[in-house]
Amino acid sequence: MAEPVIDIQGLTKFYGSARGVEALDVRVEAGEVFGFLGPNGAGKTTTIRLLLDLIRPTAGRMRILGLDPRSQGVALRHRLGYLPGDLSFHDRLTGRQILGHFGALRGDVGPAADARVVALAERLHLDLDRPSRTLSKGNRQKIGLIQAFVHEPDVLLLDEPTSGLDPLMQQVFEQLVRDATGRGAAVFLSSHILSEVQDVADRAGIIRDGRLVAIEDVTELRAKALHRIEVRFVDPVGPEPFASLPGVHDVEVAGASLRCRLEGPADPLVKELARHQVESFSATELDLEDLFLTHYGDPDAR
């Protein structure tokens, strides 16, 4: 059996008496996208910083491409692509200058490297010659994405990668990830947005309060997704036809308005709605806390 690209065993980090992460066990294979999913403050960024040896663990073992990030970090650097969650650039430098600086640090310079930067900038619709202080959050994020992907690394560590991107650019990002995994790269992607992980990942680790609650295939995670449904009908309806549908919970009907919570496939509910004249319909994905409480409970109690 091939050695995993990322191998985390018993990873623990305490800040004094405060827990950052505790006893994490995660493996990521070549060509796989592993989503690291949890609310803000759950320990996602701490885990990535530990993998990069930016901070040191209290206990546990890590290997990336079979190498120890602490003792063999120099050998790993040109094989990693990293996008931090808190990007910061010199305000007076242009995107081209910033990316040239990162390329020089990696030793990735020359016409071929410049061409890859330009090609990615075109895909992301980024003007490389504007000072970073004039760029929106989304365009600054594009600079971060280019520096992470441009040297075609074997491992990508991405912390909240679509922050600030519009829906069109999110689709471009997803294609960049598919291109990377298509050549065998492993992607470790942290997010607090359930739909982002569902769209791009193969598996997802669910982290809460520094502890890994579960690791799920994305197909299983998608089946557990929760949505808040609000429907306005032309005529009043009763609650009975909806309350008995599979996956439909907490049905509330007031005259011609219906509110409920939907878990899993929408097909039974949609077919029932089609029997009535619908004036308006909205579906809102519930936040991660609802997912945790519904399916994983309280990890401290466990």
Residue 4 has what DSSP assignment?
Answer: P
pLDDT for residue 287: 62
pLDDT reported for residue 226: 80
In the chain, the percentage of residues whose pLDDT exceeds 70 is 94
Nearest to 157 by CA among 147, 170, 169: 147
Q: Is the pLDDT of residue 302 over 60?
A: no
Nearest to 27 by CA among 176, 183, 201, 188: 188
Once rounded to an integer, what is the mean pLDDT over residues 243-259?
94
Q: What percent of the chain has pLDDT over 90?
A: 72
Closest to 263 (Cα-Cα) out of 226, 218, 295: 226
Whole-angstrom distance, CA of residue 179 vs CA of residue 282:
34
Question: What residue ranges in 70-180 does DSSP mark as E strands?
Answer: 80-83, 155-159
Q: How far apart are the first and last CA of the chain?
A: 32
For residue 23, name the pLDDT band (cuts at 50, 70, 90).
very high
pLDDT digits (tens, 9 = 90+) for 212-244: 988 989 888 777 778 899 999 999 999 999 999
- Domains of the chain, CATH where assigned: 6-222 (3.40.50.300), 224-296 (3.30.70.100)
Contact criterion met (CB below 8 Å) for 29 and 186: yes
| pLDDT at residue 280, as a whole number | 96
Please state the rounded mean pLDDT for residues 286-294.
Answer: 63
pLDDT at 162: 92
The pLDDT score that the predictor gives to residue 77 is: 86
210-225 burial: b if 16+ Cβ within 10 Å, else e: bbbbbbbebeebbeeb
159 compared with 105, residue with greater pLDDT: 159
Reading the block at residue 293, the tokens are: 């409480």
State residue 43's pLDDT score.
94
Dihedral of CA atoms 191, 195, 199, 203 in degrees, nearest 10, equals: 60
> Cα–chain-centroid distance for residue 53?
21
Residue 81 phi/psi, 5-degree rounding, is -120, 125
CB 191 within 8 A of CB 47: no
**CB contact at 8 A, 40 and 73:** no
Sheet holding 6-15: strands in order across?
A: 18-28, 6-15, 59-64
**pLDDT at residue number 89:** 87
Residue partners of 293: CB distance under 8 A and separation at least 6: none
Query: Which pair of tokens denotes residue 248?
Result: 């439909």
Please report the pLDDT score of residue 299 as a whole number: 46
Residue 140, CA distances (Å) to 84, 144, 152, 276 in order: 12, 7, 20, 47
pLDDT confidence of residue 290: 65
- Note the pLDDT of residue 301: 40
Lowest mean pLDDT of 27-31, 45-49, 206-210, name the range. Answer: 206-210
Indicate the residue type of 76: L
What average pLDDT does the structure give for the chain? 90
- Place 199 in a pLDDT band, splitting at 50, 70 and 90: confident
Q: What is the pLDDT of residues 48-60, one digit of tens each?
A: 999 999 999 999 9
- As a whole number, mean pLDDT of residues 8-25 equals 93
Between strands 59-64 and 6-15, the pairing is: antiparallel
pLDDT range class, residue 284, cuts 50, 70, 90 = confident
